A and B are shown apart, each in its own frame.
Chain A
Amino acid sequence: MTASVDDIRDVGVADRRLNMIEAINEALAIMLERDPDVIVMGEDVGYFGGVFRCTAGLQEKFGKSRVFDTPISECGIIAVAVGMGAYGLRPVPEIQFADYIYPGLDQLISEAARLRYRSAGEFIAPMTVRSPFGGGIFGGQTHSQSPEAIFTHVAGLKTVIPATPHDAKGLLIAAIEDNDPVIFFEPKRIYNGPFNGYYDKPAQAWKNHPDSAVPEGYYKIPLGTARKVTEGETLTVLAYGTMVHVAEAVCREKGVDADILDLRTLVPLDIEAIEASVEKTGRCLIVHEATRTSGFGAELSALVTERCFYHLEAPVERVTGFDTPYPHSLEWAYFPGPIRIGEAIDKILKD
């Protein structure tokens, strides 16, 4: 199931370098072009092209009835997307920040996620809700949250989180084509470049990273498949979004021979890839930026313990954000950076 770095190379021309914003913009443009039922809407996404520029130029190219601004009403945005889906459209609403998604929760949880079930397939909600998430940009407590576990807990929703420009494009296309509602969280800290966790060192750009090679044209990455970031024998690392890059940097620095999995899709989860890795290494570190208690790491830890217990040589370790709101000035004290990850690796490898 796991796509390796080599598979990605097979996809096509790999010379072109895009950052994650450009990759997302390209995926949207391709789907607007291919499928007349796709529409893009959200606060500031039209003429202006989105506060992060992900929808730049799309209104000009596809017209105001395909790409348009909405009222500041997350409840309304998700609700009209439900109605549009019932009509037969394939809406791609943007929620400007994941922190703002909560007014739309009832429409997501009680409506979009259950439409297929409660109508026995008469009505579906084939929407993809795009939303920037995560911290590291001095966004304070209302522009930094990682609420993925709220959505993985809901029956009927799929949750997708890309970690590279290449994957962002392929996963977004797959999400839009999926006939179930998909929450597509975009790690905004890595929109413009991968992040190794050292906020006090110069920022990197995507153009030097191999996974910024984004093929032109249409391709998709199936939902539910993890990506093998590095092949290793000593330790399994389960991560997604920004934390993939931070964990990779720490393992490289410490010289740990880690088997790092970028999960890419939390629901449905690539359990086969996780089991295969943990059975090989016998140790499992889980890293996410979200708060710890009832975070998705708890689910991962339970799954690994239930399914791989007799292969484990050390207790499963979680490295997460703290159980506090995301603080503005102490952002980097909250963030599960190299020190927290490094100490967890030392602990898990001790015996």
Chain B
Amino acid sequence: MAERPNPPRAAGSNTPGLSLHVPEPKFRPGDPVDFGHIDVGAPGTLPRPDETCDPRELHEHAYGLVRVLGEDARAQGPWDPKLDADTLRAMLGHMALTRAFDERMFRGQRQGKTSFYMKCTGEEATSIAASMALAADDMVFPSYRQQGILIARGYPLVEMINQIYSNKGDKLKGRQLPIMYSSREKSFFTISGNLATQTPQAVGWAMASAIKGDTRIAATWVGEGSTAEGDFHSACTFATVYNAPVILNVVNNQWAISSFSGFAGAERTTFAARALGYGLAGLRVDGNDALACYAAEQWAANRARANAGPTLIEFFTYRAEGHSTSDDPAQYRSAQERSEWPLGDPVTRLRNHLIALGEWDEDRQAEMDRRAAETVLATTREAEANGILGHGLHHPFRTMFEDVFEELPWHLKEQAEQAIKERQTKWPGSLDQ
């Protein structure tokens, strides 16, 4: 070990020694939870400025919370998007289906049908309600917890499950970790797995759309933890420099595996406030309020489409479950956090809103949940007919070499021949089909 100086204090000096601050979350396993320190403001109180406003007018929006749904489950204030009951029911339906899907896929992983899964429980509104405010052909650059976008856009569940099982129906040919979907048809960019890389890519797509005089915009989602990546800084810089028609959605779900948001800077400021320094429009939004999520995304989409500039939205929410099937949050946070979260559960709040409007009831909710579970179960069986991970090699060995380049160069041809020969050695007579 290198020798470290141990600076002597001059006699009589009263200068205090320096100390390093290492952030620490308020609650650890077993602790009682009181979120009284979180100021969630009151619904309906923040004004809704014109979409073309100067970002400097959004100071209070970057530190407060845009909220619509009140304790009485009624929509309040200028951010109420005034959606019709059919749209609200569709939104609730996507959220119910996403939750049922997550439950089933989590169980599938526990049953050994795949290696890995990630739920979005508690964060459904940040992807579903937000993406419903976009046009169907606006390009989204998601992170790994936005399955709700695919479901809201009507992507076939069986394609998602085939991908999760890496089976022979998987159109990504079993190459990607489960849940790293891709759908050009649904304007859903291939999920990387490397964090925050998608944020400047979304800006680049938006710049291209602007170069071409197109009308489509781009939106990207990133967790609060990975806003610490340099890519996010690049995204903010390029977005503001070129006034790119893009929405940067930061899902602040408080936890990045076991590291709380303080390790991304949340002890000092909000994530929406980052926008101010870049000259981006910044909105901080109750991420468990589906109407607020919709309204904020719609505001930002209008702004982008009017060439009025990019927006950074922080969705303030809570990751109700573990990071993934490989994670056990009981090891590092208090189990009480979920029930004590001051902004409740997004599905419950939207359901209660519809009930308050007289457009929904408990029976219909029970029927919706039952149908969602049935649909997922039936689709799971359909996908299982294509195989599950680990039970056989579902894809011909030659596919391993395809798509590295548009055409196979000589060295990959040679390596493909070798792989197929190894297959013959292992299973004599088997065909690479």
Inter-chain contact A179/B406, CB cutoff 8 Å: yes
Pick from A73, A86, A106, A118: contact of B175, CB under 8 Å: A118
Whole-angstrom distance between the Cβ of A76 and the nearest chain B Cβ: 3
In the complex, what residues of B have CB within 8 A of residue A156's CB? Answer: 404-405
- What per-residue 1/0 map shows which CB atoms of A72-102 lie under 8 Å from chain B? 0101100111111011110100000000000
Distance A87 CA – B218 CA, assembled complex (angstroms):
10
- With CB as the reference atom, state the residue of chain A lying closest to B236: A76
Inter-chain contact B208/A119, CB cutoff 8 Å: no
Counting CB contacts under 8 A, is B378 at the interface?
Answer: no
In the complex, what residues of B have CB within 8 A of residue A91's CB? Answer: 204
In the complex, what residues of B have CB within 8 A of residue A89's CB? Answer: 208, 211-212
Pick from B190, B211, B237, B405: contact of A119, CB under 8 Å: B190
In the complex, what residues of A have CB within 8 A of residue B192's CB? Answer: 110-111, 118
Inter-chain contact B182/A107, CB cutoff 8 Å: no
Counting CB contacts under 8 A, is A117 at the interface?
Answer: yes
Counting CB contacts under 8 A, is B95 at the interface?
Answer: no
In the complex, what residues of A have CB within 8 A of residue B218's CB? Answer: 83
Counting CB contacts under 8 A, is B238 at the interface?
Answer: yes
Inter-chain contact B182/A118, CB cutoff 8 Å: yes
In the complex, what residues of B have CB within 8 A of residue A202's CB? Answer: none
- What per-residue 1/0 map shows which CB atoms of A105-141 lie under 8 Å from chain B? 0110011000111111111100000000000000000
Known: A79-B200, A83-B205, A84-B207. A268 touches B234 (CB 8 A): no
Known: A121-B403, A179-B406, A268-B410. A79 touches B183 (CB 8 A): no
Inter-chain contact A116/B406, CB cutoff 8 Å: yes
Counting CB contacts under 8 A, is A12 at the interface?
Answer: no
- With CB as the reference atom, state the residue of chain A lying closest to B170: A120
Counting CB contacts under 8 A, is A271 at the interface?
Answer: yes
Inter-chain contact A119/B172, CB cutoff 8 Å: yes
- With CB as the reference atom, state the residue of chain B lying closest to A179: B406
For chain A, give the interface size range. 35 or more
Known: A118-B182, A120-B171, A120-B172. A83 touches B237 (CB 8 A): no
- With CB as the reference atom, state the residue of chain A lying closest to B218: A83
Inter-chain contact A110/B194, CB cutoff 8 Å: yes
Known: A75-B200, A83-B218. A118 touches B237 (CB 8 A): no
Whole-angstrom distance between the Cβ of B86 and the nearest chain A Cβ: 32
Inter-chain contact B206/A106, CB cutoff 8 Å: no
In the complex, what residues of A have CB within 8 A of residue B237's CB? Answer: 71, 73, 76
Known: A87-B209, A110-B194, A123-B182. A81 touches B234 (CB 8 A): no
Counting CB contacts under 8 A, is A158 at the interface?
Answer: yes
Inter-chain contact B211/A120, CB cutoff 8 Å: no
In the complex, what residues of A have CB within 8 A of residue B405's CB? Answer: 116, 156, 158, 180, 268
Pick from A65, A81, A106, A119: contact of B194, CB under 8 Å: A106
Distance A81 CA – B234 CA, assembled complex (angstroms):
13
Inter-chain contact A79/B175, CB cutoff 8 Å: no
Whole-angstrom distance between the Cβ of B112 and the nearest chain A Cβ: 25
Whole-angstrom distance between the Cβ of A95 and the nearest chain B Cβ: 14
In the complex, what residues of B have CB within 8 A of residue A179's CB? Answer: 406
Distance A116 CA – B175 CA, assembled complex (angstroms):
11
Pick from A80, A118, A123: contact of B204, CB under 8 Å: A80
Distance A123 CA – B186 CA, assembled complex (angstroms):
13
Inter-chain contact B211/A39, CB cutoff 8 Å: yes
Residues in B lying within 8 Å of A, measured CB to CB: 139, 141, 171-173, 175-176, 180, 182-184, 189-190, 192, 194, 197, 199-212, 218, 230-231, 233-235, 237-238, 241, 403-406, 409-411
Among all A-B residue pairs, the 7 with the closest Cβ atoms: A83-B204, A80-B204, A76-B234, A79-B200, A87-B208, A268-B409, A119-B190
8 contacts between A and B (CB under 8 A): A76-B231, A80-B201, A83-B208, A87-B139, A87-B209, A106-B194, A156-B405, A271-B411
Q: A80-B207, A107-B231, A118-B172 are in contact. List 12 more A-B contacts (CB 8 A).
A: A73-B234, A76-B231, A76-B234, A79-B231, A81-B204, A83-B204, A89-B212, A111-B194, A117-B404, A118-B182, A119-B184, A268-B411
